[in-house]
Amino acid sequence: MLTELEYTQVIINDYLSLAKPQTGNVQVIPLNDEIQKISDLLTSFANNRNIGFRLDLRDDLHINMNPIELKQILVNIMKNGIESMNNPGFIKVETEQERTMAKIRITDTGVGLSKEQLAILGTPFYSLKERGTGIGLTVCYSIVQKYKGKINVQSELNKGTSFTIYLPLYMEQQSPPIQ
């Protein structure tokens, strides 16, 4: 009964996130620190499935967004990757700067997606999970778009999936030189 209650709560939270996105509380976030915290948070869930994390966090990247929304994106995509893997393996998370964007790549070695599945990924109510709501990725796409970013997905059946998330870097305002 508790498991069903938790599942119901997840569904309600997903619908609420879609209906009423977070506003305010935008702040400068050290991206690599946040990814480290989220991978630590998901470690026990991953370990239960014999999955580990490999982090390759390059550059000192900062983004300007609501930290709850960033967590929502990363937890959702990393958790989906863990759940897609039927065999022991690793979720690889990489970060680097690409022009004015922070680039986050999350790669799993799970079941992968067909071209048809890939084409409708992120569509509301589309899910590959037996008990999925089809809202999680829709919310992720919506949040990333709100911050003028984008998500690219590459996948191959029985090989895995790679989500590449681009979010604008926080750029400190440069003061004019003192004369």
Q: Enter the tokens of residue 173.
A: 């305002």
Over range 23-34, report the average pLDDT.
90
What is the fold of 2-168?
A: Heat Shock Protein 90 (3.30.565)
Among the listed residues 97, 93, 67, 79, the one whose alpha carbon sits nearest the alpha carbon of residue 166? 97
The pLDDT value recorded for residue 178 is 55
Instruction: Write down the pTM of the prediction.
Output: 0.84
* Of 6-10, 43-47, 136-140, 153-157, the least confident: 6-10
Tell me the pLDDT band of 3, cut-offs 50, 70 and 90.
low
pLDDT, the chain, mean:
86
Percent of the chain at pLDDT above 70? 80
Question: How far, rounded to the nearest angstrom, does the alpha carbon of residue 144 sit from its chain's CA centroid?
Answer: 10
CA distance 60 to 179: 31
Are 60 and 30 a contacting pair, CB within 8 Å?
A: yes
CA distance 37 to 43: 10
Checking if the pLDDT of 15 tops 50, the result is no
* Of 62-71, 82-91, 152-161, 164-173, the least confident: 164-173
Measured over the CA atoms of residue 6, residue 10, residue 11 and residue 16, the dihedral's sign is: positive
Per-residue DSSP letters for 19-42?
A: HS---S--EEEEHHHHHHHHHHHH
CA distance 149 to 76: 17
